Amino acid sequence: MQNTFFKRQAQLIKHSLTIATFIAAFSILNGCVSTQNETPYTYAPSSSPYQDVVNAQQRAVEESKLLLVVLGAQWCHDSTGLAERFATKEMDLILRAHYETVFVDVGTLEDRRNITERFNYPIYYATPTVMVVEPKTSALLNRTTMDIWGRADSIPLSEYITYFSRFPAMTAAQKAPLINWKATDEEAAYNKEQAIRLQSAYDKLGPLLAQDLQGDTPEGLNQLWKETKGFRTELQQTLIKRAELTLDAENSNGVNTTPALRHYNPFSWEHN
């Protein structure tokens, strides 16, 4: 697909990445680190996770930083893999200089939709879910690349550095399409409906996962996990593809190439 929004963005970002590399290097060499309070990169239970995010967003606005929200869990190797990369000297300096970072513990797949919906995203589809937010508008700047963090533990540190250096270097013109992006009413209703179904699956999985973490793997956990993972992965891929094509409206030439809103069969447990 030629002349797509993202190829055009890549050309614009190419120059920004040069700037971003300088930003990262400058931060590391000169210790250009914010004075924000010490925040461990760990998924600690909180009595008020939503308010934690609201507070972090306000700090980001006040300090002219981006907001970085990470939803994950200590039992998830990709979540802890991401936390380990964040704790490296290179990433820690970049994050402290340019982001207000808040880690949200999802526990054993607890409902955190009030957090994702704050940024116009239906639900967390994976652990970890990484949200780069323009705090004044609550706009997701990484809407079309969030899925990569579902395999965070396999991503090399060099890619972390490039990825998280990119967003502070974005121009207003690069941010504008993402700030102005909005799902259609039909898609918004569909996303909410499917998020309810996915959370109902999480509600089924949660107690089984908690039992497994205690060393007693319950019958049916693996099958339900596999079923839920397939569902959530396909949902997120469709969500991303639709966003990409909406942002690439100039390339559509009036032809609707947006993926249909697929209707899924009931989960196996929904038959019971």
165 and 189 share one domain:
no
Q: What is the pLDDT of residues 132-174, one digit of tens each?
A: 999 999 999 999 999 999 999 999 999 999 999 999 999 999 9
Domain assignment present for residue 177? The answer is no
Single pTM value for the model: 0.83
> Residue 121: which CATH number?
3.40.30.10
Is 233 inside a domain boundary?
Answer: yes
Q: pLDDT digit string (tens) for 229-271?
A: 999 999 999 899 888 888 876 445 555 566 678 888 888 877 6
Query: Residue by residue, what is the 3-state secondary structure of the chain?
Result: CCCCHHHHHHHHHHHHHHHHHHHHHHHHHHCCCCCCCCCCCCCCCCCCHHHHHHHHHHHHHHCCCEEEEEEECCCCHHHHHHHHHHCCHHHHHHHHHHEEEEEEECCCCCCCHHHHHHCCCCCCCCCCEEEEEECCCCEECCCCCHHHHHHHHHCCHHHHHHHHHHHHHCCHHHHHHHHHCCCCHHHHHHHHHHHHHHHHHHHHHHHHHHHHHCCCCCCCHHHHHHHHHHHHHHHHHHHHHHHHHHHCHHHCCCCCCCCCCCCCCCCHHHHC
148 in the same domain as 69: yes
Whether residues 18 and 150 share a domain: the answer is yes
Mean pLDDT (the chain, rounded)? 85
Interval 167-199: pLDDT, tens: 999 999 999 999 999 998 999 999 999 999 999
What confidence score (pLDDT) does residue 69 get?
98
Which of 18 and 179 is assigned the larger pLDDT? Answer: 179
Last residue of a domain, one of 123, 144, 170: 170
Expressed as residue numbers, the domain containing 60 is 9-170
Asked if residue 1 belongs to a domain, the reply is no
Is the residue at 21 inside a domain?
yes
